[in-house]
Structure 1
Amino acid sequence: MKNRTIAILGAACFVSGAFVGRVSDNKLTVNILQDAQKVLGLNFTDAQLDSTLSELEEMKETYTILREQDLPNSVPPALMFNPVPAGFTFETKKTAFEVQRPAQVKLPRKREDLAFYSIPQLAELVRTQQISSEELTKFYLGRLKKYGPTLECVTTLTEELAMQQARQADKDIKAGKYKGMLHGIPFGVKDLLSTRKYKTTWGAMPYKDQVIDEDATVVQRLQEAGGVLVAKTTLGALAMGDVWYGGKTRSPWDISKGSSGSSAGSASAVAAGLLPYAIGTETLGSIVSPSTACGTTGLRPTFGRVSRHGAMALSWSMDKIGPIARSAEDCAIVFNAIYGPDGKDQSVYDAPFNYNTGINPKKLRVGYLEDDFAKEYGFAANDKATLDALRNAGVELVPISLPNLPARQLTMTISVEGAAAFDELTRSGRDSLLVQQHKNAWPNAFRSARFIPAVEYLQAQRVRTLLVQQMHETLKDVDVYISPSFASNNLVVTNLTGHPCVVVPNGFQKNGMPTTITFMGQLFGEAELLSFAKFYQSITPHEEQHPSMDFGKKKKS
């Protein structure tokens, strides 16, 4: 029965991928299944394959019936990834969120300097009514209009909405109804988060005029905190890379280079001072990578920390939403507004975020990936300087190694789940409208994924369970660990296990492009992780470096 079931599911997977659109017109034969076996790595006899034919024909009818069901991208599967390993517990008592308010913040003599003020600095100016939210919003809208076209980092300006929200913020603040540090502060969101009355394009030509007339939970929460939505930022089409239907998003450090992706526009706009902060998402590097290309600070939270309601789904078991900002503390302020259950995304845990000034970063147990730091790479000196700076500041670093499991092979998870999320796009042939059509682009990846058997996908998830458990054992003696941002194995492993990270700038390459270092945390350990990243930024000046914005000397490639 076991072998027969494998043959049925394996051959069915092949048939559903290879004969889309014409399978119902052709009878299956043993010869067809023999070919299917070659793709799937199976070796059943002709007699065994012949026994499966009748049930496989019934399966074809099942596929037809299921495909008639309306399954928008927002509908998740009935299976849910659990990042919590056996034996792991997280804090349940919630304490007050605490950020030290800056003293004596004044408007700069040069108004353009506002572009790179931190959230607390801007908040103090707005709270003390040295500048109105309306004035601040017009300031950032002006920069978005001036530099956005060159950087190709904006899909939609939400100007009318922004002015309404800014004026309401001013009215509330004058009436003594101050909501906190995000009140009256402009922000942008990656254009895979739905926004009422404005387009949500997913960066992709087939959806460039799509309107999902509701606010994603993250957008709603930021607006409830008094935030002012000014822009939808670009993403590589369907959350891959920096190429979207309107062009290629650029790094403000060198506009001949892309900003990487897929949170391309969010990182580019923040780095260029077009936004104080923006929301990004990550499935496999989409916050870490553009933050590195643009020199921003990005938080990828624990899987299950932030509701994805209203966000485009690429991989239901790997997608995560987080802020991209100027500093770790800016990220903490934004994260505090967006985390936690909303009653809509059932994957979200009710775990507190106890970020406060009482956390002593020097008392945290800190590891580092010794083997990765020992490798030779172009900006190794920057990473060594990071380790040295921490050691000189009194931090003891303990070497650790990641589990030895085939993590890279588990990335089939994204292919399978993405192919399911965009099943209709593939079967309709509208995937031909996507700008990128090379063999590593989504159209081919989604087609290829249809040849992955359900059995193999589930086996991969079982290996993933082992990975989750082994990571728990690896990190039992550390609160935080440090990885080079280039370390792809760490990026893959921790996106699969759901661990949080903060990526922060730590210098420049010889070509003038920024570099970053990655700080990793325990599951649901964002408070300690962000406190440690803030400590590092307090002893180094890297996050204070900004691009010149003199684009005349560079040309787009």
Structure 2
Amino acid sequence: MSDLVFLPAYQLAQMIRDRQVSAVGVLNAYLAQIAKHNAKLNAICTLDEDNARQRAKQADEALSKGENWGALHGVPITVKDLLETAGLRTTAGSMSLKNYIPQHDATAVSRLRAAGAILLGKTNVGDLAGGYQGLNDVFPRVNNPWNLDCTPGGTSSGGAAAIAAGLSPLDLCSDFGGSIRQPAHFCGIYGLKPTDRRVPTTGHIPEAPGAPRCMRQMLTVGCLARSIQDLVLCLQLIAGADAAQPDIPPVPLDSPTDKILQNRRIAWIDEWSLYPVAAEIKSAMRSVATKLAEAGIPFEPWIPNFDFTAAWQTYYELAAYTLTYAQSLTVGDIRKNLAFLFRDGTQGDRDFRKLGNIAGIGLPISLNPTLKGYFEALTERDHLTTQMDKEIAQWDAWLCPVAMTPAFTHRERGAAICVDDRRVPYSMASGAYVVPFNLTGHPVVVMPIGQTQNGLPIGLQIVGKRWREMELLAIAQELDKAIGIFQHPVGY
């Protein structure tokens, strides 16, 4: 293993600029790591080796002439297989797109390339952005590098596994219902879900190619990395207005204040009452509280006066409306989705099933969507966003769990998940703590804070104010010094 493959992207970029290492040398180190480990992880589903080698060579030649392409000059990156890449297969994990080669890059991909990044390959996903595992019919199942019997989460499955195992330093990905945050938590890495509409989603699947643009709320493009600094760098490069998506506002990134953590107002909670978390996650969250106290960082236990039940229901109402028109489903896809809804609605504790009720929410909308119903759901979203804005205004950041469990063993989509001695419906176990912030659009950073007794990672969410990502990331950097526990899995 080369030490290069576990260095953060920003440091690799500096080393390449300073001629301490060549872009070709960095690329070779990653290709060797991929050759050694990807067969058991299935993290990278499409490798663009020839073009990457050519581009790395050009990067070194450019530097020798005094040319600098940008902040990521010569640094290899990966891109989630839901974001279009010109000339490189983009399948979204769907058999209907298994041979789809886009003519254009997604906007965020184009911006990273313009900053000098070298596209190494595409990372594996859950099919059509569905589910909390890396399962699809095009490529083999994605495995968690910490334990191959466990899922790395989803749908940014391959991206999280690749970052954790040193197959990539930076993965461009997306989050519609926790798809950045849950994999970051399951794989022990860092993730950023920006404010809704901070980063263009142009070129993201779904929508299916050629379909009308339906994903107008709750979907965000962000990143996975091994350091907060890389999240900062990536956001600075991909954020901003897009002529192809005129509802992305030209709002500049905020400037963080210089307040030290000891003068911040930090809220903390180890569990929401409706959604009990595993004992080892509660223990890790309480360890965070102890570390904060030892570092002299004030914090207060807090839960917002917020209707989480309404947020859950409204999220799935809007998701049903959106995906009804955004996905181009085959008969096989429809059968799989119905089987998933049946399992999710019939497995697990009865009280949790009644609380979740995804099939009861989504199926009537999918079968008979109405414009009035859609607007009513949007109106409720406005109310809940305002409610969360008002509640979180008093805090600089709020620390809370990411999911009810650490990484779970591979299973059929929709199969119940054990949270200590209770069986919880599949979607609730991984979605309860993340979908509220897709609904309200608040930015979230995930960072690793510890491990279970079986050596599986545990992360936490750091929730901030909308449109204040740079402030949130500055707080996360300071918190990382006090409570972060990043390490890569043994054997990589």
The TM-score with structure 2 as length reference comes to 0.83
Given that 2:268 and 2:302 are in contact with CA atoms closer than 8 Å, whether structure 1 keeps it comes out as yes
Instruction: State the Cα distance separating 1:441 from its structure 2 match.
Output: 8.7
The superposition leaves residues 478-517 of structure 1 with CA deviations (integer Å, 9 ceiling, x where unpaired) of: 1211111126544222110100100111101122110001
Where does structure 2 lack aligned partners over 5 or more consecutive residues? Answer: 208-214, 345-357, 405-430
Report the secondary structure of 2:279's partner residue. Answer: coil
In the other structure, the counterpart of 1:244 is 136
% identical equivalent positions: 31
Is 1:512 matched with 2:405?
A: no
> Would the aligned equivalents of 1:313 and 1:319 in 2 still touch at CA under 8 Å?
no
Task: Please identify, of 463-472 and 177-186, the stretch whose mean Cα deviation from structure 2 is larger.
Answer: 177-186
Q: 1:460 Cα deviation (Å)?
A: 2.0
Map of 1:381 onto structure 2: 283
* 1:189 CA drift (Å): 0.3
1:481 maps to a residue whose letter is: W
Within the alignment, does 1:395 sit opposite 2:303 as a pair? no
Counterparts of 1:33-52 in structure 2, within 5 Å, are none
Task: Kindly indicate whether residue 151 of structure 2 is the aligned counterpart of residue 233 of structure 1.
Answer: no
The letter of the residue matching 2:312 is R
Structure 1 residues 358 and 162, CA, compared in 2 at 3 Å: closer, same or farther? farther
* 2:470 is aligned with 1:527: yes
The normalised TM-score by structure 1 is 0.73
**Cα pair distance change 1:155/1:449, threshold 3 Å:** farther
SS of the residue 1:256 aligns to: coil
1:193 corresponds to which of 78, 83, 97: 83
For residues 146 and 285 of structure 1, what CA distance do their matches in structure 2 show?
Answer: 30
Cα deviation, 1:282-336, whole Å, max 9, x if unaligned, reads 0111011111111110000000111111111364311111010001111111111
SS in structure 1 at match of 2:341: coil
* Matching of residue 274 in structure 1 with residue 167 in structure 2: yes
Q: Return the letter of the residue paired with 2:455.
A: G
State the match for 2:312 in structure 1: 408
Q: Aligned equivalents of 1:441 and 1:178: distance in 2?
A: 53
The aligned residue for residue 325 of structure 2 is 420
- The equivalent residue for 2:348 is none
Q: Is the 8 A contact 2:271 2:277 kept in 1?
A: no
The aligned amino acid for 1:407 is: A
CA distance in 1: counterparts of 2:230 and 2:291, whole angstroms: 22
Q: Which amino acid aligns with 1:328?
A: I
Q: For the residues of structure 2 that align with 1:494 and 1:414, how far apart are their CA atoms?
A: 14
Q: Is the 8 A contact 1:188 1:230 kept in 2?
A: yes
From 160, 182, 187, the equivalent of 2:50 is 160
Return 119-128 or 232-241, whichever deviates more.
Answer: 119-128
Does 1:365 pair with 2:265?
A: yes
Indicate how the Cα distance of structure 1 residues 206 and 549 shifts in structure 2: closer, same or farther if over 3 A, else same.
Answer: farther
CA contact (8 A) 1:252 1:549 kept: no
SS of corresponding position for 1:506: strand
Amino acid at match of 2:67: K
Aligned to 1:548: 490
Counterpart pick for 1:301 among 187, 194, 199? 194
> Whole-Å Cα distance in 2 between the matches of residues 322 and 112 of structure 1?
27
For residues 366-389 of structure 1, give each alpha carbon's deviation from its aligned partner in whole angstroms, at most 9, with x where no partner exists.
222366399663221111111221
Map of 2:442 onto structure 1: 499
Q: Is the 8 A contact 1:295 1:504 kept in 2?
A: yes
Quick one: which of 304, 328, 331 aligns to 2:231? 331
1:439 alignment partner, SS class: helix
Contact 2:271/2:400, CA 8 A, preserved across alignment? no
Deviations 1:31-86 (A, max 9, x none): xxxxxxxxxxxxxxxxxxxxxxxxxxxxxxxxxxxxxxxxxxxxxxxxxxxxxxxx
Secondary structure (helix, strand or coil) at the match of 2:2 reads helix
Equivalent in the alignment of 1:321: 221
Note the residue ranges of structure 1 that are not aligned, 5 or more in a row: 1-110, 551-557
Give the 3 Å change call, closer, same or farther, for CA 376–222 of structure 1 in structure 2: closer
Deviations 1:127-148, CA, capped at 9 Å, x for gaps = 1112110111121122122211
Structure 2 CA distance for partners of 1:407 and 1:432, relative to 1, 3 Å: closer
SS in 2 for 1:535: helix
Q: 1:147 to 1:288 in 2, by over 3 A?
A: same
Q: What is the aligned-residue RMSD (CA, Å)?
A: 2.5
Q: 1:496 is paired with a residue of what secondary structure?
A: helix
Alignment partner of 2:454: what SS?
coil
Conserved? CA contact 2:38–2:44, under 8 Å? yes
The letter for the 1-side match of 2:400 is S
| Residue aligning to 1:45 | none
Report whether the alignment pairs 1:431 with 2:333: yes
